[in-house]
Amino acid sequence: MLKTFSSVSQYIKADLTRVIIDNIVFKLHYRWTFVLLLVATLLVTSRQYIGEHIQCISDSVVAPVINTFCFFTPTFTVVRHMNNTALNSGSIFEPGIGPYNRQSDEVKKHAYYQWVPFVLFAQALCFYMPHALWKKWEGGRIKALVYGLRMVGLTRYLKNDSLRIGTLNIPSMAEAEERVINIRRTMIDRMRLNQSWGAHLVFAELLNLANLCLQIYVTHRFLGRQFLTLGVKVLQERWVDKMDALDIVFPKVTKCTFFKYGAAGSLQEHDTLCVMALNIMNEKIYTILWFWYAFLLTLTVLSLIWRLLTLFLYKSVTFTRWTLYWAKPGKIKESDLSSVIEKCNFSNWMFLFFLRTNLSEFLFTKVIYHLASEFPDNPTHDNDINNYRAQYPHLPSLDTVDAPLLHHRATTSAASAPPEGASLKV
């Protein structure tokens, strides 16, 4: 069993070195829902758990022929036999199974089981798509800024020498200070030119909600408009009535009609019963999906309400201090924080938020301090990035996200930086 699901294990492994560029609700979409749908796809395509997907009873037709025919063509149940009264009285032995008249009786066809694995896999890809788009739009900027800084919190215990343990490099205090200055320079460079970063994040989160609503609707149509109330009916009927919503949507026994020509050339009709073993798995999968989608929809709406709050309140120092409580902002001077927030638009603020998510309290406090040092108290001027870059044309392009932060040696990054006495005019 473990071997069957080994292909999806790579998506649920914890990676402590992974850079965080989204929130927990976003991860529920592209990681947990994606994995859940992949596991469901593997379950309905594996015969080792449920055996043959369909087995039909016929006296004169070869079993493999009738099984294949009834699996590839829709089976059906009789609507007038879908009632608890007849089932409890013993008039019928299975919901929807009984004598019927081809001309007058209404039947319900069941063809979805042929498409279940394809639909589940397509839905898994749809849940991953917003993450793929956001990852492309984000462009690795957060990773570039925090590269090599995940362990910088330990530099407070080092003085002049760096420490290398295997592939892990813990810089010295002097190297850490230089990297913080690099973060400051890169952040300042981007503050006036990276206006769409936050908008792309909000759009990706809205895309998650739109995709979730779309997949709920697609599933509802796919199951014959029975999905929206499936979970509620299961809770109400599962332990009360002999026939519940699962028996109607996922019948375990269905009817199938097979025609063939006899020895004399006349058309013969064979009315067969088919045991739908696959529906034992389908009913569990879609019941779990109903409750998961309800849970995910609730959290997604709440996360968008939170995003709306950040959009309107990000200029508030009090709100920012509360939002960045992981950094213990009481250790950050309110004047420093106010200076930085005053110069931030929403994209810059979100950039700071994810910097804090990926950096230690020790380092983030230094980042705020160094950013605040770029903004003097005189509010009558503003940052002139273009003039600043005109003075230092040798600086790397702003679109190069791996410079100067992805250079391992401090001398390389120092060589690409402006002169020590230069500062950004405000």
| Rounded Cα–Cα distance for residues 150 and 359 (Å) | 6
Q: What's the whole-model pTM score? A: 0.78
pLDDT in the model for residue 192? 59
Q: Say how far apart CA 285 and CA 269 lie, in whole Å.
A: 35
Query: Can you give the pLDDT at residue 403?
Result: 35
Helices and strands counted in the chain (H then E):
17, 7
Residue 3 pLDDT? 56
Share in percent of the chain as helix, strand, coil (round to 5):
55, 10, 35
pLDDT of residue 412: 41
What pLDDT does 222 receive? 93
Q: What pLDDT does 323 receive?
A: 84
Q: Which of 370, 359, 358 is nearest to 333 (CA)?
A: 370
Asked if 149 and 366 touch (Cβ cutoff 8 Å), the reply is: no
Residue ranges, the chain, pLDDT below 70: 1-17, 47-51, 147-179, 182, 186, 189-195, 239-242, 326-330, 375-426
- Give the pLDDT score at 169: 54
Give the model's pLDDT for residue 218: 96
Q: Is the dihedral of CA 46, 40, 72, 272 positive or negative?
A: positive
Tokens at residue 150, please? Answer: 């995940």
pLDDT at 27: 94
The count of other CB atoms within 10 Å of the CB of residue 92 is 20
The answer to whether 54 touches 67, Cβ cutoff 8 Å, is: yes
CB-based burial of residue 372 (10 Å sphere; 0-12 exposed, 13-18 middle, 19+ buried)?
buried
